[in-house]
Amino acid sequence: MAENLNLFTSTQNVIKEALTKLGYSEEMYELLKEPLRMMTVRIPVKMDDGSVKIFTGYRAQHNDAPGPTKGGVRFHPEVSEEEVKALSMWMTLKAGIVDLPYGGGKGGVVCDPRQLSMREIENVSRGYVRAISQIVGPTKDIPAPDVYTNSQIMAWMMDEYSRIREFDSPGFITGKPLALGGSHGREKATAQGVTICIHEAAKKRGIDIKGARVIVQGFGNAGSFLSKFMHDAGALVVGISDAYGGIYDPAGLDIDYLLDRRDSFGTITTLFDNTITNQELLEKECDILVPAAISNQITADNANSIQASIVVEAANGPTTLEATKILTERGILLVPDVLASSGGVTVSYFEWVQNNQGYYWTEEEVNKKLHENLIKAFDNIYEVSQTRGVNMRLAAYMVGVRRAAEASKFRGWV
Ligand code: NAD
């Protein structure tokens, strides 16, 4: 039978398994198996050459029983309704894992910002907010950055929403620049969270981070900062990649040079001649492998060739369920996406709290709170995985889904 590469249905499968293990009814699965709300919008955008192009966008709100929904907006040519739905479900799980009073949301616009001018990107961003303005807001659904969106885009979106509502609404969106109510530490939060998980996983496997060989797939927001943190902690980052290929050097790469030369889309390998493919990179020798780019990278086809003893998923959905099984059977410790990449939403929550109270924290305060939340979440999931005899992914789903399920129950929905 062909392997299931569909993120939406494989997420549903694990949610079902988690709810069954936790003893919830079939009705609870019926409620949580897809978003409560899914909006599709068409966005007319004035292009630089005077023409008008219509872009398609989505906003999914998985479950708002625990509180407002929360999740990023992705600008990518391959954004689809199913992907946005699956991503919104993962946001519910992430919020549950790090214990935030949110349900999951997610959005996206089908476009390729690499082909658009800054003005066109601004028009897409503002048009998207106008199109979804009725269902979002600081106490309803709070967007944030994701693939190919950044703090400038968040700033335009916040400005558009504030103009529509006729009052300043910094709490409408997170991942903003500091000057507009962004939080210290937000830009690096996802990578910080992944780093904390790597340290905790290394302790469990008796690996010393100093001198450990690390491969990072993807050199964007998550992958580049993570490479820097690993490098600064004394690890040897032996491989990195972007959409165009990978570079590998067993002696360790010059991360500061690569960071300095990468472009704002996380492209760097085009400057090199002797690159390898992303698939080759994943199978290279290392101790810790971090997929930090796109989904379905470790599958039944290559799971047996992975040489790392720890895989930490910074990207959303990089490992299929079949591959999860293979890696677990091979004794590889897999730290799942819903836990490893939850640093971003955690500091997004801190940003929203600061916006709501109008009082701002130092970077040290933010990092300290992030550390506490993530270590607690890691320990909790590791413990569930050991005591219930399940892999880390199922354990994370069990921890993550509980808050939405309990909130739905107390509200009398199920
Ligand atoms: P980004 O847009 O900043 O960078 C993406 C990187 O992946 C770039 O280096 C790009 O070249 C590379 N890439 C794109 N297509 C690729 C392909 N086909 N093969 C290999 N590499 C490819 O994105 P990001 O914010 O770093 O996000 C990366 C992953 O982390 C995504 O899966 C995202 O959902 C996840 N994530 C990000 C955050 C965050 O706060 N940034 C939070 C949680 C999860």
Q: What is the pLDDT of residues 294-347, one digit of tens each?
A: 899 999 999 999 999 999 999 999 999 999 999 999 999 999 999 999 999 999
Angle at which helices 392-410 and 7-22 pack, to 10 degrees?
70
Write the DSSP string, 361-413.
Answer: --HHHHHHHHHHHHHHHHHHHHHHHHHHT--HHHHHHHHHHHHHHHHHHHTT-
Among this protein's residues, is 106 annotated catalytic?
A: yes
CA of 242 to the centre of ligand 1 (A): 9
Alpha-carbon distance of 353 to 356, in angstroms, equals 5
> How large is the average pLDDT for residues 180-202?
97
Alpha-carbon distance of 133 to 45, in angstroms, equals 17
Average pLDDT over the chain reads 97
CA of 405 to the centre of ligand 1 (A): 30
Best residue among 92, 147, 197 to mutate for probing ligand 1, ranked by most atoms within 8 Å of CB: 147
Minimal-distance CA residue to ligand 1 atom 18: 243
From the candidates 106, 176, 188, 284, give the one annotated as an active-site residue. 106
> How large is the average pLDDT for residues 105-127?
97
How do residues 56-92 score in pLDDT, each as one tens digit? 999 999 999 999 999 999 999 999 999 999 999 999 9
The predicted structure's pLDDT at residue 314? 97
> How large is the average pLDDT for residues 36-62?
98
Q: Is the pLDDT of residue 2 over 80?
A: no
List Cα–Cα distances, 91 to 46, 99, 212, 365, 404, in angstroms. Answer: 32, 12, 31, 24, 11
Q: Is the pLDDT of residue 3 over 90?
A: no
CA of 279 to the centre of ligand 1 (A): 16
Q: Under a CB-based contact definition with an 8 Å cutoff, are residues 321 and 6 in contact?
A: no
Q: Is the pLDDT of residue 1 over 70?
A: no
List of domains in the chain:
2-12+36-167 (3.40.50.10860), 189-340 (3.40.50.720)
Residue of higher predicted confidence among 29 and 264: 29
The band of 245, judged by pLDDT with boundaries at 50, 70 and 90, is: very high
> How large is the average pLDDT for residues 284-299?
96
Minimal-distance CA residue to ligand 1 atom 3: 220
How do residues 351-361 score in pLDDT, each as one tens digit? 999 999 999 99
Q: Is the pLDDT of residue 15 over 80?
A: yes
The predicted structure's pLDDT at residue 43? 98
The predicted structure's pLDDT at residue 4? 80
Contacts of 61 (CB under 8 A, 6+ apart): 35, 36, 37, 38, 69, 88, 103, 104, 105, 135, 141
Q: Which residues pair with 105 in a beta bridge?
A: 61
How do residues 395-413 score in pLDDT, each as one tens digit? 999 999 999 999 999 999 9
Nearest CA among 272, 292, 274 for reference residue 282: 292
> How large is the average pLDDT for residues 188-207?
97
How do residues 159-188 score in pLDDT, each as one tens digit? 999 999 999 999 999 999 999 999 999 999
Best residue among 75, 94, 148, 221 to mutate for probing ligand 1, ranked by most atoms within 8 Å of CB: 221
| Poorest-pLDDT segment among 180-184, 208-212, 264-268, 368-372 | 264-268
- Nearest atom of ligand 1 to the alpha carbon of 175: 40
CA angle 373, 377, 380 (to 5 degrees): 140
- C-alpha dihedral sign at 357, 195, 340, 391: negative
The predicted structure's pLDDT at residue 390? 96
CA of 221 to the centre of ligand 1 (A): 7
Alpha-carbon distance of 55 to 221, in angstroms, equals 25
